[in-house]
Structure 1
Amino acid sequence: MKPKKNPQKDLNKNSTTYFVFGLLLVLSMVYVALEWKTFEPEINYDYSMNTPEGIIEEEPVKDFKVEEPKLKQVLPQEIKIEENDTEVEETEIIAIEVDANTEVLEVSDFEVVEEPDEVEVNWVTIEEVPVFPGCENEKDKRACFNEMMQKHIRKNFRYPELAQEMGLQGRVSTQFIINKDGSIGTIRKRGPHELLEREAARILSKLPKMTPGKQRGTAVKVPFSIPITFKLQ
């Protein structure tokens, strides 16, 4: 059986040689393309051409005369003297220096007036606590006082509208004095904002007059502390 292909006309015979030659040709072209450089022609500009005929003329220096400032003469104001007919009262100063004729007073000549000290007794240690109106017949007057205080706060409590709009809330610590006559004295308060403190003071200022507290049978001042809580729902 004879082969169908002619060995002399084999197309794959020199394919390797052609491939290598083509590859070298392509690489040479790529190298030349990457290494090719071009330069722009160097141009020197003559900036002197921007001025007429290329010459810069200097401006002449002018002489200026400095004039002295003119001083304006200011005349003093005319002083008008007016007669004063107002009578001047003379004050007589009496010397109080001590001399040999000065009378010396004895200690017995002075009257000593003793003013009672303002006694303030703590709520915990006082013998007879102040009595809130309505607690006169209660056995435990301390507990009744606390209960009536809570009722008074709930009854007179008004949450400030501005404080609600600002979202203010918190606890206001308060203290007030029950005077010797049963009236409400100094109110102290401390809280997160002035609006809440002001409302707490307003509530306490509406407290009724009470039976004063007593220590050894004598009416005394009694401080009482209570917190008032403001809480938004």
Structure 2
Amino acid sequence: MKPKKNPKADLRKKSNLFLSFGLILALLASLLLIEWKTYDKEEFASEQVYLDALEDEEIPITELANTPPPKPPVIPEVIDVIEDDPELEEDEIKSTEISLEDIVEPEDIIEHKPEEKPETVPFTLIEDVPVFPGCEGLNDNAERKRCMSEKITAYVNKNFNKELGSELGLSGINRINILFQINTEGDIVNIQARAPHPKLEEEAKTIIESLPKMQPGKQRGKPVNVNYALPIIFQVQN
């Protein structure tokens, strides 16, 4: 048979629960009392502030005008007064106008063309052969060539020192090659000579330099330089 539960034991357990619940209620009540505050009606009425209705006022708008900067102070100009000098004379102003009579006409411009060097033509190809003195009467060019060659050969044979070869100790046949030029004035220039001995070259140049002045040769109607070759052959007899 089961033992019966003591009802006092249950009440003791529940008493602790009731005690805790009561403490909680007491705390809540005290908090409500602390937070709740009552004010007197008169005190509240004295502290109220009544605001009058504000009337609509027109607030003027201030516009900013562009005010010009202040002008700088005007400094009075000091003018020196100079008394009139009766002795001063006015300078005479010369006119700069130019009349048609004063215009200077430019001088004629002369074009300086470079001088053309005369052409040089060999004696064998010349159109108009130089004229040696004594050959002027011949009209044919071939005859003038033959006449000139004969005159030059005769002149050299007459004036050449035939004893010079023996004096120089030469023997046998000796040859002197001479080349000279008859310029546009008819003068003998640019003489060249080659010989077995320098003395023979000097002798040959001396004879050719002494040739008489000639009429210059022409090519296409213009005076030209004419090259002339002259061989001199002589034999030294012991």
TM-score normalised by L of structure 1: 0.50
Please identify the structure whose Cα radius of gyration is greater. Answer: 2
